[in-house]
Amino acid sequence: VGVLVDPVRRLDNFIRLWQEGYTGFVRAMELLEKQPDIVDEEGSMPLTGVKGRIKFDKVSFRYAENCREVLSNVSLSIKPGEFVALVGPSGVGKSTLCSLIPRFYDANQGSVSIDGHDVRTLTLASLRRAIGVVQQDLYLFSGTVAENLLYGRPVASMEEVLAAAKAANAHDFIMALPRGYDTDIGQRGVKLSGGQKQRITIARAFLKNPPILIFDEATSALDTESERAIQKALLGLAKDRTTIVIAHRLSTVRHADRILVLTEDGIVEEGSHDALMTANGVYARLQTVQASI
Ligand code: ATP
């Protein structure tokens, strides 16, 4: 009879239990995400009333002293609410560039700022609250679907969890899993497809509802239905917030307000897909080299 219990009611029970015990868990997850040497600077202030303007001012970065410089003197500016697609050859530093915004790493030279505040002057907690990161695998952990969703906002209500899953086109496939939202998706649990995993991380971002979104699009091939579902969810998620997508798909770059092309020489081109194709430069060449971008 246990498995016949209404999965939605089970979710409600689960959320109550979770909310009684989540604090230690969230702290553990935060520790896992943090680089040990990145801490609040003395006198740091919380980021409040976020508008979502992002600026890189002559940013240079290398992972370690004996490594090559991944970003050299990169400058860019993104307006509040803008939807920007970041494209470029593999390994050029697109993920690295995005990782400097939530301070997973700090620039060696230059500065990254949000609404005019250097990110190093902001408290890490407020900075990371303002930024949602969607990546296919990185942040899914062993546990149930509900646990993975609630990581977006542990105090969310059941209605909010369901609404987020629906907005991410994930609710239907979750309900079709053996135990619905209670299904274990850890190593010993059910195996989700790449597209399903991505929709769970999208649902989590809907729950978190951050003013700034960083979306690392899956490079792996998705079936057409998954791809459409994700595309639709991404466009919904990007609405009314600053969004940077590391884009690999033409369907995504076509929707972007602006495409930034990153190469080893920094941001070398920017504009719409049509404008960049007409310009017949790096972007146009990338398009012909790659089957999809
Ligand atoms: P892709 O499109 O293939 O995901 P990318 O443009 O996002 O690539 P990054 O992942 O930012 O590129 O990597 C840029 C460079 O930095 C690569 O040479 C990579 O090997 C290196 N790199 C990435 N992460 C680390 C790390 N944690 N430590 C050391 N080097 C790293």
Pair 187, 119: CB distance under 8 Å: no
- The confidence score (pLDDT) of residue 2 equals 39
Both tokens of 81, joined, read: 């609410």
Q: How far apart are CA 25 and CA 53, in angstroms?
A: 31
The two tokens of residue 9 are 């009611």
How confident is the model at residue 138, as a pLDDT?
57
Ligand 1 centroid to residue 65 C-alpha, Å: 15
Q: Give yes or no for residue 248 CB within 6 A of ligand 1.
A: no
Residue 106 Cα to ligand 1 midpoint, Å, equals 15
> Could you please report the per-residue DSSP string of 133-189?
EE-SSTT--SSBHHHHHHTT-TT--HHHHHHHHHHTT-HHHHHTSTTGGG-B-STTS
Phi, psi of 79 (to 5 degrees): -80, 155
User: How many other C-beta atoms are found inside a 10 Å radius of the C-beta of residue 113?
Assistant: 18
Residue with the smallest CA separation from ligand 1 atom 24 is: 96
Contact 78, 53 (CB under 8 A): yes
- Is the Cβ–Cβ distance between 196 and 225 less than 8 Å? no
The whole-number pLDDT of residue 17 equals 59
pLDDT digits (tens, 9 = 90+) for 227-246: 888 888 889 989 999 999 99
Reduce the DSSP state of residue 242 to 3 states and report it: strand
Closest ligand 1 atom to 99 CA: 11
Q: What is the pLDDT of residues 265-284, one digit of tens each?
A: 999 999 999 999 999 999 99
Edge-to-edge strand ranges of the sheet holding 71-78: 71-78, 54-61, 109-114, 117-118
The Cα–Cα gap between 272 and 159 comes to 38
Complex confidence, ipTM: 0.97
DSSP letter assigned to residue 121:
G
Q: Is any atom of ligand 1 closer than 6 Å to the C-beta of 91?
A: yes
Judge if pTM exceeds 0.80. Answer: yes
* Residue 93 near ligand 1, beta carbon < 6 Å: yes
